Amino acid sequence: MYPEPGQQGALARAFGCARVVFNDAVRARRDAHAAGERYPTSAVLSKTLITQAKARPERAWLAEVSQVVLQQALREADAAYANFFASLKGERAGARVGEPRFRSRRDARQAVRFTANARWKITEGGRLLLPKIGAIKVKWSRELPVRPSSVTVIKDAAGRYFASFVIDTDPETDRERWDEPEPDAVIGIDLGLTHFAALSDGTKIDSPRFLRRAEKKLKKAQKDLARKRKGSKNREKARVKVAQAHAKVADARREFHHQLSTKLIRENQAVAVEDLAVKGLARTKMAKSVHDAGWSQFVTMLAYKAERYGRMFVKIDRFEPTSQVCSACGHRDGPKPLDVREWTCSACGTFHDRDVNAAQNVKQAAGLAVTACGARVRPGLVPAQREETGSHGIPTGTCAAQQHSTP
């Protein structure tokens, strides 16, 4: 979005008013908790923090923005507390969520949401008309397939404005957008740093290393920022330049992840990856390279695209010894230092590329094979080694598609 100076001021007022209402709601609930009282309901907060607050001189400026923006700020506070309590009770999956904090005008992201009852619309000229803000020029990334139910206006740390729309989609229509891949198209992925990914078919995808390539420019921008006096206009200009440099790196990395994940999901019936301990690796000397690769973001994209387009997505256990086992005969040759990129199996004599072999083991450990009708079946058992007394089966993985009942 490219708002004019007056529209930027109106958006700044909307951001500020929404932030104040959100903070007032958090403060009201903290005060109630400290006093041992029940949390005030949303209806009570709406009456006291919006309707009655507008009548007071110190909060009269709340009337300068759309009522919907203020109501949405209260709903966001409700959602934040709901997530917090669900996390405390163990009802919410993922990392633990802390108590909602106060928002700051210095936060890297400012956002307001307009729902349908705000009567916003897209003009015939392609502009976004928002209440009490005006018609804003928009550069559209794609055509909206249906009428959106809401729009969120976002300002990032680099001073850029974006409009994000919520629309209802039809899963069947989404799946018809792409041609159905071959029934036996299954791929295993081994993520790494030397190469971003090695695939079980032998393909290797180089790591773009966006952050490493931009380090010189980032270093100069951050040095200029450190030399500016705090609170000065020049320091704010230097801060924006640093944010823009980081945004450029993040955008390039996100685009790379989107293109690669879309290609893999489009061409395969099933995709298998290893469940990496990214948080642990990010505390090692490889931290900068791990963050630069962005494995978590890439795996998240694979998961939601697989669900959306009717593919199977499988995560295998992170403790599976994919780099120690021969993918040809199943013999375990033991751990190998990271500088060993190629090795020969001592049992069957097969020569392996370390990363490609790991990707093939990821595929096998996932236990996936897709029949012509699209049903999942277990592959055959790996033959036991002569020195072993019994055979070892194929360990199972965690299938996101099973959790979401994807056909």
The string of pLDDT tens digits covering residues 2-21 is 999 999 999 999 999 999 99
pTM: 0.81
| Residue range 210-257, pLDDT digits in tens | 999 999 999 999 999 999 999 999 999 999 999 999 999 999 999 999
Answer yes or no: is pLDDT of 369 > 70.
no
Active site residues per annotation? 190, 274, 355
SS (H, E, C) the chain: CECCHHHHHHHHHHHHHHHHHHHHHHHHHHHHHHCCCCCCCHHHHHHHHHHHHHCCHHHHHHHHCCHHHHHHHHHHHHHHHHHHHHHHCCCCCCCCCCCCCCCCCCCCCEEEEEEHHHCCEECCCCCEEECCCEEEECCCCCCCCCCCCEEEEEECCCCCEEEEEECCCCHHHHHHCCCCCCCCCEEEEEECCCEEEEECCCCEEECCCHHHHHHHHHHHHHHHHHCCCCCCHHHHHHHHHHHHHHHHHHHHHHHHHHHHHHHHHHHCCEEEEECCCHHHHCCCCCHHHHHHHCHHHHHHHHHHHHHHCCCEEEEECCCCCCCCECCCCCCECCCCCCCCCEEECCCCCCEEEHHHHHHHHHHHHCCCCECCCCCECCCCCCCCCCCCCCCCCCCCCEEHHHHCCCC
| Residue range 259-298, pLDDT digits in tens | 999 999 999 989 999 888 888 888 888 889 999 999 999 9
